[in-house]
A and B are shown apart, each in its own frame.
Chain A
Amino acid sequence: NAGVTQTPKFQVLKTGQSMTLQCAQDMNHNSMYWYRQDPGMGLRLIYYSASEGTTDKGEVPNGYNVSRLNKREFSLRLESAAPSQTSVYFCASSGKNYGYTFGSGTRLTVV
């Protein structure tokens, strides 16, 4: 089925560990996004990529890095995880007419 695929779905990290969240879309969308969702705060944009080869900071980029590997894939890396990064992470992509598609999310716990 066409859409946005995120891996893993769940992850527990210890403080200081690193990990990469993977995201891939098969809709030929130019733009891709990473959000985090926290109770009472909605979804906040971490990083986005308007097109292959470009990335830009969103509202809450500190502690994260991203890579737009190709048009399909956009990964999010936590170099040194902190408890404040415990959250649900959503990847999204958009094409013409701002048709956004969201992945099913990654629930990350940092202990």
Chain B
Amino acid sequence: AQSVSQHNHHVILSEAASLELGCNYSYGGTVNLFWYVQYPGQHLQLLLKYFSGDPLVKGIKGFEAEFIKSKFSFNLRKPSVQWSDTAEYFCAVTAGNQGGKLIFGQGTELSVKP
């Protein structure tokens, strides 16, 4: 079965530090990849998505992610985080034969110190 793994459960950074959150998936076929953010007390919001084409995807709020097919990875990056980036981040995948089901990783909680 398809699965998604996020390596870091909780990341603590100071403002202006660079961010990279890891995401690996297990599925050998065509995939669509997503990063979602959930601010405290709110529902999920889409940060960015990859379907095909340029493996470097730019999203909202200065986030970007790189799809590396050979490593089954889709890591999220931001050059300089802000206190307002404090949230939980979820990587998610749909596989070509899974009927559009979105499978999520466990989530990474990001705390940014002012």
A positions within 8 Å CB-CB of B: 31, 33, 35, 40-45, 48, 50, 56, 58-59, 90, 92, 94, 97-98, 100, 102-105
* A33 adjacent to B102 (CB under 8 Å): yes
* A94 adjacent to B100 (CB under 8 Å): yes
- Interface stretch (choices B11-19, B43-51, B56-64): B43-51
* A100 adjacent to B43 (CB under 8 Å): no
Contact sample, A vs B, 19 pairs, CB 8 Å cutoff: A35-B104, A40-B107, A41-B106, A41-B107, A42-B4, A42-B6, A42-B105, A42-B106, A43-B44, A45-B101, A48-B100, A59-B103, A90-B44, A92-B102, A94-B102, A98-B49, A98-B100, A100-B46, A104-B43
* A56 adjacent to B46 (CB under 8 Å): no
With A40-B107, A105-B43 as known contacts, state yes or no: A50 contacts B99, CB within 8 Å: yes
Q: Which residue of chain B lies nearest to A100 when distances are taken between CB atoms in the complex? A: B102
B positions within 8 Å CB-CB of A: 4, 6, 9, 32, 34, 42-44, 46, 49, 51, 90, 92, 94, 99-107
Main secondary structure of the interface of A (DSSP, over half): strand
With A40-B9, A42-B90, A58-B101 as known contacts, state yes or no: A90 contacts B106, CB within 8 Å: no
Q: Which residue of chain B lies nearest to A56 when distances are taken between CB atoms in the complex? A: B99
A41 to chain B: which residues have CB within 8 Å? 106-107
**B6, B32, B44, B90, most chain A CB atoms within 10 A:** B44
* A50 adjacent to B100 (CB under 8 Å): yes
With A48-B99, A56-B99, A90-B43 as known contacts, state yes or no: A98 contacts B32, CB within 8 Å: yes
